[in-house]
Amino acid sequence: MIELKSEHELAVMREAGRVVAKVLNAVRERASVGTDLLELDELASTMLDEAGAKSSFRHYHPNWAPMPYPGVLCTSVNDAIVHGIPTGYRLRDGDLCSVDFGAAVDGWHGDAAISFVVGAADPVDLELIATAERGLAAGIAQVKPGNRLGDIGHAIGVIGRKAGYGLTADHGGHGVGRAMHEAPHVPNEGQPGKGLKLRPGMVFAIEPMFTAGGRDDYRYGDDGWTILTSDGSRAAHVEHTVAVTEDGPRILTAP
């Protein structure tokens, strides 16, 4: 079942989204060569407390995971695509870092992710990130009443495919609201005009993840959470929480 959110509920979700945007911005500013990932997780955790918000990720335990998620951030570096657990790893010059963060205010969730390079960037990595951001923007542009779920995936997928990137099979976005993960699944590839009809009050987390090597398969890290490229190539992941409104897309995790 897909619950339509009221204007009041969207306003609360916007508050959660504001916290998410603020924390992601602070993490990006803190992250530099030598910063360890646990320090970033602690920064995010402290900011959550100060905002009176709750982590969407910490203690989250889907049935496929070996243990509850231990952090408030996902920090996915280089060949990690998503769900990287923050460790004592110190960021190195040229690392491609994807940071995903979710927060709840009064039980309503916001979920977003950014990707960036620390230190001196390889232009190839910047292009991968820029393309993922273009994919996200194109997906968001399809979020309007009367469009279909397939329009979102199609817009994202053609951008990734045209660039020769992989799309990470069966991973993608999701409905979001009272729970971080709600129906429907929002694939990063699709057929225009097909699938669920979008209606005002629906809210989706849209999250392209592109892999440089062009492969769609992936593997799990030893921690059972981290999803890595199968060929060791780098990945970029970006995400926003977006509501369908009569006026089109409303990005609830915009800064």
Q: Which residues contact ligand MF3 by CB under 6 A? A: 57, 60, 69, 74, 83, 100, 102, 111, 113, 174, 205, 207, 239
CB of 193 to ligand MF3, least distance (A): 26
Of 15 and 111, CB closest to ligand MF3: 111
- Give the residue, chosen from 37, 205, 209, 236, that forms a contact with Co ion under the rule CB under 5 A: 205
Residues touching Co ion, count (CB under 5 A)? 2
| C-beta of residue 40 within 8 angstroms of C-beta of residue 86 | yes
Sign of torsion, CA 217 221 227 228? negative
Q: Please, which residues bridge with residue 237 across strands?
A: 209
255: buried, middle or exposed (CB in 10 Å: 19+, 13-18, 0-12)? exposed
**Residue 63 to residue 85: CA distance in whole angstroms:** 17
Distance CA 187, CA 112 (A): 16
Tell me which residues in 26-85 interact with Co ion (CB under 5 A).
Answer: none
Which of Co ion, ligand MF3, none sits in contact with 204, Cβ below 5 to 8 A by type?
A: none
CB nearer to ligand MF3: pick between 7 and 174: 174
Q: Per rule CB under 5 A, is residue 182 in the interface with Co ion? A: no
Site of interaction with Co ion (CB under 5 A)? 111, 205
